[in-house]
Amino acid sequence: MPAGRHFLQIPGPTNVPDRVLRAIDRPTIDHRGPEFQALAKDVLEGMKRIFRTRHPVIIYPASGTGAWEAALVNTLSPADKVLMSETGHFSTLWTKMAKKLGLEVELIPGDWRHGADHAEIERRLAADQAHAIKAVAVVHNETSTGVTTRIPLVRKAIDNAKHPALLLVDTISSLGSIDYRHDEWGVDVTVGGSQKGLMLPPGLSFNATSEKSLAASKTAKLARSFFDWGEMLASNADGWFPYTPSTNLLFGLREAIAMLEEEGLANVFARHDRHAEATRRAVRAWGLEILCQDPEEYSSSLTAIMMPAGHDADALRKTILQHFDMSLGQGLGRLKGKVFRIGHLGDFNDLTLMGTLSGVEMGLGLAAVPHREGGVLAAMGHLAERARASSGVRRAA
């Protein structure tokens, strides 16, 4: 084992803070006893505050993929049409899942460098006079590309078209990192996961609901059992689960919610914005290209960086892991070998970012990837500037 802490700078799973580890490190309790009931009520209420919703949130002992499935099977019926937007690898996987479940997907193709096209969503919905489209599904933060879709614009597109489709949103890599408002933005099902912005190990995932999606679940006909909202909500009402929940992860979740609220969600989002901006300054100083093409869609939880032609991102990642014990995200799907991704989300501060960027800059040199030096300095300049601004200290003349 190398000395010091491994740098886990993939965009999820993220580094688990000591406070969360300590909270999980307890004897497992009776999930039908009073101590559990209090814990369940705490986390079910707490997650409503994180999603910014008054409506019930469901917690599954499953990875994010499970909550994707839950969002579809609870609200839709066989052969229902879903309008999906190709933003990258994760939207593609969700699309494949919808097809496997027997849904009909209308796909808006994309170039993996932009978010969902809200104008095109509006056109497709306006053209759907018969209201054959039952749901619009989009990924808020596309983790394979570092592109964030502006959900309020998607909501507006649906409203402009006066279309009754449900809005389903995947926030697995944005919840707890990037501003998100389930109720205010009129989302019907939000999908979340534990191992990214929520700073927990993998193993929990979430559905935030709405009146409209709860009503849809009463008549939806896709087969469902483990993921059925009905039994879950009936049990949750008194602080129970219909089957054994991930008790120890829920201890961790209670602690993670407390940490996010002590810092304040607005401050958590501002911290991620700052680290993302510093990262982009480093990338530009290196003379490399950011995959995301629209500055309005830059992700605050990760940055995907394109490799110069003829250079393999996975060789660079291997060099960095070997020499500096740091894991960076690989290019997924059609981006394999072409990009690497820096995760700057979760339990992460200015110096974690400086360590991360130093590892990347040294790695670029060792792997002989053409670049300019000075990325680390550019990022440091930004962080120092922001620190000065927040403490009101003026720069020395």
Ligand X SMILES: *Cc1c(COP(=O)(O)O)cnc(C)c1O
Among residue numbers 99 through 138, which ones bind ligand X (CB under 6 A)?
A: none
Give 145 or 217: the residue with its C-beta nearer to ligand X.
Answer: 145
Give 201 or 337: the residue with its C-beta nearer to ligand X.
Answer: 201
Give 201 or 381: the residue with its C-beta nearer to ligand X.
Answer: 201
Q: Is residue 90 involved in binding ligand X (CB under 6 A)?
A: yes
Which one of the spans 38-46, 170-178, 227-235, 355-363 is the region binding ligand X (CB under 6 A)? 170-178
Q: Is residue 147 involved in binding ligand X (CB under 6 A)?
A: no
Instruction: Give yes or no for a contact between 148 and 113, defined as CB atoms under 8 angstroms apart.
Output: no
Closest distance to ligand X from the beta carbon of 60 (Å): 11
Closest distance to ligand X from the beta carbon of 97 (Å): 10
Backbone angles phi, psi at 61, to 5 degrees: -80, 75
Among residue numbers 177 through 196, which ones bind ligand X (CB under 6 A)?
A: 193
Q: Quote the tokens at residue 132.
A: 């054959």
Q: Is residue 64 involved in binding ligand X (CB under 6 A)?
A: yes
Q: Quote the tokens at residue 172.
A: 């697995």
Residues 6+ apart with CB under 8 A from 336: 314, 330
Closest distance to ligand X from the beta carbon of 173 (Å): 4
Closest distance to ligand X from the beta carbon of 144 (Å): 8
Closest distance to ligand X from the beta carbon of 141 (Å): 6
Which one of the spans 57-65, 154-162, 346-354, 365-373 is the region binding ligand X (CB under 6 A)? 57-65
Closest distance to ligand X from the beta carbon of 329 (Å): 10
Using CB positions, name the residue nearest to ligand X: 64
Q: Binder to ligand X among 10, 12, 346, 353 (CB under 6 A)?
A: 12
Q: Quote the tokens at residue 48.
A: 């409503």
Closest distance to ligand X from the beta carbon of 5 (Å): 22
Residues 6+ apart with CB under 8 A from 324: 7, 359, 362, 363
Q: Is residue 170 involved in binding ligand X (CB under 6 A)?
A: yes
Q: Quote the tokens at residue 220.
A: 């939806």
Q: Quote the tokens at residue 183.
A: 């109720």
Instruction: Give yes or no for a contact between 104 and 80, defined as CB atoms under 8 angstroms apart.
Output: yes
Q: Residue 194 and residue 299: Cα distance in Å, rounded?
A: 19
* Closest to 145 in 3D by CA, of 85, 195, 95, 89: 89
Closest distance to ligand X from the beta carbon of 216 (Å): 22
Q: Is residue 203 involved in binding ligand X (CB under 6 A)?
A: no
Which one of the spans 60-68, 344-352, 354-362, 368-376 is the region binding ligand X (CB under 6 A)? 60-68
Q: Residue 153 and residue 121: Cα distance in Å, rounded?
A: 10
How many residues bind to ligand X according to rule CB under 6 A?
Answer: 12
Give 13 or 17: the residue with its C-beta nearer to ligand X.
Answer: 13
Closest distance to ligand X from the beta carbon of 200 (Å): 11
Instruction: Give yes or no for a contact between 106 and 82, defined as CB atoms under 8 angstroms apart.
Output: yes
Find the length of the chain.
397
Give 50 or 383: the residue with its C-beta nearer to ligand X.
Answer: 50
Kindly give the residue spans of alpha helices, DSSP state H, lying in the chain. Answer: 18-24, 34-51, 64-73, 89-100, 118-127, 151-160, 211-219, 229-236, 247-263, 265-286, 313-324, 350-366, 375-391
Q: Is residue 60 involved in binding ligand X (CB under 6 A)?
A: no
Angle at 66 between CA 211 and CA 137, to 5 degrees: 55
**Radius of gyration over every alpha carbon of the chain, rounded to an integer in angstroms:** 21
DSSP state string for 107-131: EE---SSS---HHHHHHHHHH-TT-
Q: Binder to ligand X among 9, 14, 145, 173 (CB under 6 A)?
A: 173
Q: Binder to ligand X among 47, 137, 172, 316 (CB under 6 A)?
A: 172
Type of residue numbered 282: A
Q: Quote the tokens at residue 356.
A: 């991360």
Closest distance to ligand X from the beta carbon of 191 (Å): 8
Q: Is residue 85 involved in binding ligand X (CB under 6 A)?
A: no
Binding residues for ligand X, rule: CB under 6 A, are 12, 63-65, 90, 139, 143, 170, 172-173, 193, 202
